[in-house]
Amino acid sequence: MQTVSLLVILCTAGSYISPFVNPALFRWFSYFGTAYPWWLLLNVGLVVFWLTQLNRFVIYHIIMILLGAPYFETFLGLNRTSRIREQDQITIVTHNLGTMFNGKGGVTKQRAEELAEQYAQFLKEHGQPDIICTQETQGVFYPILGKKLGYDQRFNLKKGTVILSRFPILAGGDIPFGRTSNSTLWADIRLPSGEVIRVYNVHLQSNKVTTDATRIIDGDQDLDAIGRVMDKVGDATSTRTEQAQRLRDHLLSAKHPVIVCGDFNDTPNSYVYRVVSRGLSDSFKESGQGLGHTFAGAIPFLRIDYILMDPGFKATGCDVVRERRWSDHYPVFTQLVTP
């Protein structure tokens, strides 16, 4: 068991170093960061085991857990938040809707009407957000959703990344990612207070391994399939690194307070998250409660969907609504008080 402990300690240390290592140079380091929740659970389990043995290794695992405190709070929210609506508070939601459409090339208008009616009701039940950022959204769906909610302010550039707003959209554009179906949009939105903010809707490079991972977990694939999955993830991580840097450069040029929403396809223990979040506040870390994982697919405990914001904003609540009927991602709702 001491050998197992040493391996877990080394892998845990790797997950702490992972955000500082560029995957374009050492892609395998990113795997340690992605697996951080499991390393944490293994450390907790080994603490219990070594306590029963009265062995000094319990101290080593406690130290490893404590060293990871900054990452721990990005996965588990321990905040006490007030649900009293504050002045100048807005609500934002981000949600990847890809599997709502069953992965098909399109849906009929009638089916889109049905889905939009049901989804609009869901949003109304959760406070009817003022700004809605969705990814992998079918083109026939989002205009209908906007009408159902009474939002005539919509921005989309045909790649499935959509911004809907109750407030006026003054300008918008995208960050070129080259030949990929993933995209990132931005929109300048004027709030009722007169303040203009810039909202980014982010969908960084997808891993495209959900089906493969499910088959591996179900025992339908051999060990070679694991290697293929890791290669796919490694390639996608390298691409995301370049996309994250382009996003970061664009954020630095923004002339208004920024909010960054979307599906990063990477966890908080990643280089990509570190690049994008530098200088921003994480709404879940600031005001979330309970487990923060946002992926509802075959791989558990992955937090890959975020709402980050300029430090001038104050997050008064962040909720991950775990309803699987819409997608293999859970929606993230955040209440913010504007600067």
Given a cut of 60, whether residue 227 has pLDDT beyond it is: no
Given a cut of 60, whether residue 218 has pLDDT beyond it is: no
pLDDT of residue 211: 47
List C-alpha distances in Å: 308 to 147, 266, 268, 274, 318: 27, 14, 12, 12, 11
Quote the tokens at residue 249: 């450069």
Task: Tell me if the pTM is above 0.85.
Answer: yes
| 165-193 pLDDT tens trace | 999 999 999 998 877 778 899 999 999 98
Given a cut of 80, whether residue 225 has pLDDT beyond it is: no
Q: In sequence order, what are the residues at sequence separation of 6 or more whose Cβ sits closer than 8 angstroms to the Cβ of residue 17?
A: 29, 32
| 91-135 pLDDT tens trace | 999 999 987 876 555 677 888 888 999 999 999 998 889 999 999
pLDDT of residue 83: 60
Please provide residue 220's backbone torsions phi and psi, each rounded to the nearest 5 degrees: -90, 0
Beta bridge partners of 153: 165
pLDDT of residue 49: 92
Given a cut of 90, whether residue 159 has pLDDT beyond it is: no
pLDDT of residue 88: 75
Q: In sequence order, what are the residues at sequence separation of 6 or more whose Cβ sits closer than 8 angstroms to the Cβ of residue 41?
A: none
Q: In whole angstroms, what is the distance from residue 66 CA to residue 47 CA? A: 12
User: Angle at CA 148, nearest 5°, toward 86 and 82?
Assistant: 20
Q: In sequence order, what are the residues at sequence separation of 6 or more whose Cβ sits closer than 8 angstroms to the Cβ of residue 179?
A: none
| 54-101 pLDDT tens trace | 888 899 999 999 998 888 888 887 777 666 566 678 999 999 998 787
Q: How confident is the model at residue 215 (pLDDT cuts 50, 70, 90)?
A: very low
Given a cut of 50, whether residue 38 has pLDDT beyond it is: yes
pLDDT of residue 183: 86
Given a cut of 90, whether residue 339 has pLDDT beyond it is: no
- The strands making up 162-165's β-sheet, listed across from edge to edge, are 153-156, 162-165, 131-135, 89-96, 332-337, 314-320
Q: In whole angstroms, what is the distance from residue 80 CA to residue 311 CA? A: 19
pLDDT of residue 232: 60
Q: Which of 40-49, 58-67, 222-231 has the lowest mean pLDDT?
A: 222-231
Given a cut of 70, whether residue 221 has pLDDT beyond it is: no
Instruction: Select, from the ranges 44-48, 179-183, 293-297, the one with the highest average predicted confidence (pLDDT).
Output: 44-48
pLDDT of residue 217: 42
Q: How many helices (H) and strands (E) does the chain have?
A: 11, 14
Q: How confident is the model at residue 223 (pLDDT cuts 50, 70, 90)?
A: low
| 2-30 pLDDT tens trace | 889 999 999 999 999 999 999 878 877 78
* Residue the block writes with tokens 């396809």: 265
Q: Once rounded to an integer, what is the mean pLDDT over residues 198-213? A: 75
